[in-house]
Structure 1
Amino acid sequence: MSRGSRSGAPSRAPRPSGHGAPLGELDRLDADGQAIAVHAPRTSAYAGRQRWTRRWKRTILVIADVLQLLLAIALAYLARQSTPSLGRAGDLSAAVAEAALVIGIGWIGAIALFGGYDVRLLASGPEIFRNLLRSSLGAAGIVATVLYLSGVQLSRVFFVVLFIVGTLLLLLDRLVMRRVIGWLRRRGRMRSRVLVVGALPYIDSIARTLAREQWLGYDVVGAVVPERYEDATSREGIPVMGVESDLLDVVRSVQPAVLLFAAGSDASDEEFRRTAWQLESLDIDVIVVPAVTEISSDRMRMRPVAGLPLVHLDLPRSRDALRLSKRMFDVAASALLLVVAAPLLAVIAVVIKATDGGPVLFRQVRVGRDGVPFEFLKFRSMVPDAESRLAALRDEEIDRGNDVLFKMSDDPRITRPGRILRRYSMDELPQLINVLRGDMSLVGPRPALPREVAAYDQDALRRLTVRPGITGLWQVSGRSDLSWAETVRLDMYYVDNWSFAQDVQIMVRTVRAVLTSDGAY
């Protein structure tokens, strides 16, 4: 791939000695012999469509919010009128009519002010929800102040119910929008073309992540690399479109919606800044990926100092996952669940016993925290001699790229009731006893067999620093469909980035995973 002829690029002026040329097209020199960068004049047509998409997403959100606020006002009005025991609320209808415009403008304005309509945050992360909560709190203060100063006598019960119900409805808007966008992206719609700049190893790593997380909606269409990689080929099949000195030519040719800068670039700080100037006329999203991965956002703090974007990282949180508060929650929740599920447990036990007369529980040695073995409990979902038939099945089945775990989607050892139990994870319910004993937690890495631990490398052993869980990231991210590498990656992410909020989120997602039965066999 020769420079100067790629993509019909015009010739460039020579680089003056002692000065770093920007990553782009240089057409001429000034009177002092300094290179003058020419800004790309044409906006990407594809990026223009992306801008239009962002606008209609924002419009839909605003319309949905207005409708939800009208519904919240109606519900708050009905709630106040249905509680006559609180006394008369005066002429509530007239007061609500006077206050409705203030409520609508104040709340919608606060949402816009606090970033609640930033559609870039819709796809992932909690930031869009945090912004909405802050805006609702701010709106309550704004509306209360304006109504007080204008003398509108609004019922306090109405006001409280309005902002509680309204906030919940607005959060529901964002949640539904996120689900719809994710659903469309996984089916090939509303996707963005991405051009990645950096060293090939980093580009391949990013491409693998984006290909795995289809809900993000990013398609890597090409790579721009340092000159030392010019003749190399990406292992992930990403086409090399050019080198960094030809970046603007490649951008105009490829017309990406996103320009993503990965690690390994040869560009200096000054060159990167000049490139940003040249990209200013293009409607393209620019993303910079630091050379750190598998770190949750709440462990990172961006603190710009003296023009340097310093990223401060908190240490891993494996010790936090062993806190007394987590253990107390496990005990209380597992005890409550055992009491509530007692009738279901009894029915399952009777069905298993009546099927073949074998034992109700399946007991197996698993490896827990710090490598300590424990007796693992499940409802038996296989024939009584399942373990003795395992060796023969291993010789017949090569498991989906998972060299450590053995899973078969059509395992002949599973009984008819066992298939239903596994499909909806009801065979896992006796593990609540393991949680009470302290062998396991409600949320944590997958409990491993001794033979699996024997095959662990140094990284995988980190999974044993916390208690294994009944559910975890591995279960809500694909369960048995995951490869061994993906299982380890998710478990290590959980261990390093533990938080109580993440545990709650995983438990909520577990309900959905169980109901959809994805990867369950």
Structure 2
Amino acid sequence: MEESVRPSSTVNGTPQHIDLQSIPLPPQRGAGAAAAVGTTSARPPYAAWESRYRAWVIGSDVFTAFVLIVMSAFLIDRSDPHDMHALGTAAAFLFGLSVCRAWSPRVLGEGAEEYRTLGRGLVTTAVLVALGGLLFGALAVQPWVFIVVPMISVFMFLQRYALRQVLHRRRRLGECLLPVLAAGSPDTVADLIARTKADPHVGWRVEAVCTYSGAGAERGSGEVEGVPIVGKLDDLAGHVRRGGYRVVAVTADQHWNPKRLQRLAWDLEGTSAEMVVAPMLMEVAGPRLNVSGVLGMPLLRVTAPMFTGGRRLVKEALDRIGSALLLTLVSPLLLAIAVAIKLDDRGPVIYRQRRVGRDGHAFTMLKFRTMVTNADKLKQELQADNEGAGPLFKMRKDPRVTRVGGLLRRYSLDELPQLFNVVSGRMSLVGPRPPLPEETAKYAPDARRRLLVKPGLTGLWQVSGRSDLSWAESIRLDLRYVEDWSLALDLVILWKTFRAVVQGRGAY
């Protein structure tokens, strides 16, 4: 019955020939579109620096794996010249990283995605080695699965990190950046430009802008934050084809609609540009965002933030165990700091201060004393010289800071006693900054969400500028942590905290 209602595709019993070239293409808008109609643009090659960087990554990965596998063959299998374990591990390594796209140019240097793909590739390698041992009856493969592959993983992550630092250094100098064409409202485009300038390690440089009217926020303005406006939204695809932009960043604008975005995606096919659409929920990211198709429509699912559950229990255990181990390791340093403070002015070693913790419960936070004993009384006299953001009181050259205190503050050694607060369960190793009661009294409703989790010894505020941050930026970072928390994010913050403390950035 179904076949009877379908239109026939034959005439006089002879199948019709459909000439695909005769089907008219959808109209192209904007200057330069005529050159694109009826032609298929080959994807241009990647920039020279991208090819070199990828070659360095692949070469270092292969060299590291080869050296470690050869050494393991000598140590584990007594230098057997026909060692199938070594050959099988090498083959599994090459296959695992290739199939998981750990060497794809689109992930190299791209945030945490590079490390995730590398991790998946190495896990795949271990699984393949184990399965190969079972399949061929090589039961002596356990050292290769549980020692060699993890050892390769450690060295490989370290060298990827080292290469990433070289890339970031070049990007801070204005090199190795991807040209970006931003399209949206002048305000949202300006925000994107500001973010790319503040974080050059991301690798974006906005070189051109398209807006709906072809002008900026002010009537007749031909640029946004110093970046020229090259046309309207309808001209976007033509400018991309002529300009060779690598990224088309679509920001919020009331004139974007599903049809226009779909047309833009079609028009960008065959170009070197990757289309990136910024969702309206700018501060929600990571594992909370998932794209799924329902009733033929792509939907962006935003799951609720997790403040309880198994992952939080793991975080609690890691906090207490980790802080206890750290206290054991740094106990000689704690004793030396205590002696230095006591000899400096004979005052108390520990400074106790009331702070606000999770759900608004106050607790006593411990720090090494870095100021004179009557510092709280002198604060009122110094209010006119306050350089802090929002309700915070900060001075770059605070006269209340002692000689020993200045050194402790520069390297955040004064915060080490807070490890006792972490052991007691009042604080966490990573979390929002612990606020003062008078600060929380001035909180706006959104800022109070910081109190949904335990305050931290360090956090995104610590690794993003510390005392140099504005109040609004520190709140934004704390809320981002509350909304997008994960164990992986905690590990990244702890590592970046170590670097920030060693360099003494933003501390006073």
TM-score bracket relative to the smaller structure:
0.7 to 0.9
Matched with 1:286 is: 275
Matched with 1:169 is: 155
Structure 1 residues 464-483: Cα deviation after superposition (integer angstroms, max 9, x where no partner)? 22221111111122111111
The one-letter code of the counterpart of 2:496 is R
Residue 463 of structure 1 deviates from its aligned partner by 1.1
Matched, 1:334 2:340: no
Matched with 2:403 is: 416
C-alpha distance 151-460 of structure 1, shift in aligned 2 (>3 A):
closer
Residue 306 of structure 1 deviates from its aligned partner by 5.6
The one-letter code of the counterpart of 2:339 is V
* Equivalent pair of 2:100/2:121 in contact (CA under 8 Å): yes
Matched with 2:337 is: 348
* Structure with larger RCO (C-alpha < 8 A, sep 6+): 1
Structure 2 residue ranges without an equivalent (≥5): 1-25
Structure 1 residue ranges without an equivalent (≥5): 1-19, 29-35, 81-88
Normalised by the size of structure 1, how large is the TM-score? 0.82
State the alpha-carbon separation in 2 of the partners of residues 409 and 238 from structure 1.
Answer: 34
C-alpha distance 377-155 of structure 1, shift in aligned 2 (>3 A):
closer
Matched, 1:373 2:371: no
C-alpha distance 210-340 of structure 1, shift in aligned 2 (>3 A):
same
* Equivalent pair of 1:376/1:431 in contact (CA under 8 Å): yes
After TM superposition, the structure 1 = structure 2 runs for residues 408-487 of structure 1, keeping only pairs within 5 Å, are 408-487=395-474
State the alpha-carbon separation in 1 of the partners of residues 418 and 442 from structure 2.
Answer: 25
How much is the aligned-residue C-alpha RMSD, in angstroms? Answer: 3.3
State the alpha-carbon separation in 1 of the partners of residues 116 and 324 from structure 2.
Answer: 32
Structure 1 residues 258-295: Cα deviation after superposition (integer angstroms, max 9, x where no partner)? 21122226354444344334333432232222222122
Matched with 1:295 is: 284
Task: Tell me the percent identity.
Answer: 36
* Equivalent pair of 1:37/1:278 in contact (CA under 8 Å): no
State the alpha-carbon separation in 2 of the partners of residues 145 and 495 from structure 1.
Answer: 41
Matched with 1:217 is: 203
User: Which one of 360, 363, 366 corresponds to residue 349 of structure 2?
Assistant: 360
Q: Which moved more, 1:223-232 or 1:117-126?
A: 223-232
C-alpha distance 156-503 of structure 1, shift in aligned 2 (>3 A):
closer
State the alpha-carbon separation in 2 of the partners of residues 190 and 76 from structure 1.
Answer: 37
* Equivalent pair of 2:73/2:86 in contact (CA under 8 Å): no
Matched with 2:37 is: 38
* Equivalent pair of 1:22/1:245 in contact (CA under 8 Å): no
Q: Aligned with 2:287: secondary structure?
A: helix
Residue 487 of structure 1 deviates from its aligned partner by 0.7
Residue 334 of structure 1 deviates from its aligned partner by 2.8
C-alpha distance 103-23 of structure 1, shift in aligned 2 (>3 A):
farther
The number of equivalent residue pairs is 481
C-alpha distance 470-232 of structure 1, shift in aligned 2 (>3 A):
farther
C-alpha distance 339-158 of structure 1, shift in aligned 2 (>3 A):
closer
Matched with 1:24 is: 30
Structure 1 residues 387-423: Cα deviation after superposition (integer angstroms, max 9, x where no partner)? 2222333313444xx2332222222221111122112
* Equivalent pair of 2:210/2:229 in contact (CA under 8 Å): yes
Residue 228 of structure 1 deviates from its aligned partner by 8.3
Matched with 1:387 is: 376
Structure 1 residues 72-119: Cα deviation after superposition (integer angstroms, max 9, x where no partner)? 113313432xxxxxxxx5x742123x6655544442233121110123
After TM superposition, the structure 1 = structure 2 runs for residues 43-62 of structure 1, keeping only pairs within 5 Å, are 50-62=46-58
Q: Aligned with 1:445: secondary structure?
A: coil
* Equivalent pair of 1:363/1:378 in contact (CA under 8 Å): yes
* Equivalent pair of 1:301/1:311 in contact (CA under 8 Å): yes
After TM superposition, the structure 1 = structure 2 runs for residues 495-510 of structure 1, keeping only pairs within 5 Å, are 495-510=482-497
C-alpha distance 335-276 of structure 1, shift in aligned 2 (>3 A):
closer
* Equivalent pair of 1:195/1:221 in contact (CA under 8 Å): yes
Residue 218 of structure 1 deviates from its aligned partner by 1.1
Matched with 1:186 is: 172
Residue 484 of structure 1 deviates from its aligned partner by 0.9
Residue 156 of structure 1 deviates from its aligned partner by 5.0
C-alpha distance 285-39 of structure 1, shift in aligned 2 (>3 A):
farther
State the alpha-carbon separation in 2 of the partners of residues 420 and 441 from structure 1.
Answer: 25
State the alpha-carbon separation in 2 of the partners of residues 225 and 145 from structure 1.
Answer: 55
The one-letter code of the counterpart of 1:423 is R
User: Which one of 477, 485, 494 corresponds to residue 490 of structure 1?
Assistant: 477
The one-letter code of the counterpart of 2:113 is E
Residue 324 of structure 1 deviates from its aligned partner by 4.3
Q: Aligned with 1:227: secondary structure?
A: coil
Q: Aligned with 2:390: secondary structure?
A: coil
Q: Which moved more, 1:490-499 or 1:317-326?
A: 317-326
The one-letter code of the counterpart of 1:190 is C
C-alpha distance 54-455 of structure 1, shift in aligned 2 (>3 A):
same
Structure 1 residues 362-398: Cα deviation after superposition (integer angstroms, max 9, x where no partner)? 1222222222332222111112222222233331344
Normalised by the size of structure 2, how large is the TM-score? 0.84
Residue 347 of structure 1 deviates from its aligned partner by 1.9
Matched, 1:129 2:118: no
The one-letter code of the counterpart of 1:38 is V
State the alpha-carbon separation in 2 of the partners of residues 39 and 184 from structure 1.
Answer: 40
User: Which one of 62, 67, 79 corresponds to residue 63 of structure 2?
Assistant: 67
Q: Which moved more, 1:180-189 or 1:298-307?
A: 298-307
State the alpha-carbon separation in 2 of the partners of residues 239 and 492 from structure 1.
Answer: 33
The one-letter code of the counterpart of 1:438 is G
* Equivalent pair of 1:302/1:309 in contact (CA under 8 Å): yes
Matched with 2:393 is: 406
Matched with 1:276 is: 265
